A = this chain, B = another copy of it.
Amino acid sequence: MNNYYGTKMWALIEELSRLPGIGQKTAGRLAFHIISMPLEKVEQLAKTIVEAKQNISYCRKCTTITDDTMCPICQDDRREKNMIMVVEDSRDMAVYERTGEFKGLYHILHGAISPMMGVGPNDIKIKELLLRLQTEDVTEIIIATNPNIEGEATAMYISKLIKPLGIKTTRIAHGVPVGSDLEYVDEVTLSRALQGRLEI
């Protein structure tokens, strides 16, 4: 595509289109929106971006992204401290928090084991989880990594490390999503739903 908009505008479209899920067209739309904003709003946006990066820190207990040394959930006395849900990233924690169903603590791995992508067990926060188990009184570890190859491999790896410690290790259920149509559910999910059937 030729540069009809001038180099600065073009540079902005290029930068934006490098973000995940943003193609050339969306980047163009965003860039046009940005230049139509008042200058102080644009400067505010730029400042917020840099500040978020500069101020990023991690909870020293569950490793989630937070401003403080410990996240609000780890600091909360009302949480059940004997249950830890292991998730791949902070967004997954937020997703489960929104259900309001889980009252225990979390542990964020910041990734999943993926030999294809060169991510080994030492590249994610598994060691930090094992350290927690030495000092915290945990009776159950719920592994809620994603239901894909990397997530399953990570779940298997962690469960093998934890079982010898005598701590109950569970995996969130795989099955048919609520509200879906059986016709559109894939075979692997259907067979996992059958295996995981519960008495009613």
Contacts and interface: CB of A to CB of B under 8 A. Distances in A.
Interface string A40-83: 00111111111111111100000011111001110000000000
Copies in the complex: 2
Given A4-B66, A6-B66, A98-B1, A39 B19 contact: no
A154 B3 CA distance: 28
A154 B51 CA distance: 44
A11, A28, A30, A49: which has the most chain B beta carbons within 10 Å? A49
A29 B34 contact: no
A9, A31, A42: which has the most chain B beta carbons within 10 Å? A9
**Interface of A (DSSP majority class):** helix
Interface stretch (A87-95, A168-176, A178-186): A87-95
Interface of A: 1-9, 11-12, 15, 19-22, 26, 28-35, 37, 39, 42-57, 64-68, 71-73, 89-91, 93-94, 97-98
A112 to B, nearest CB: 15
16 contacts: A4-B72, A4-B93, A5-B90, A8-B56, A8-B67, A15-B44, A15-B45, A19-B30, A20-B29, A20-B30, A21-B26, A21-B30, A34-B49, A34-B53, A46-B47, A46-B49
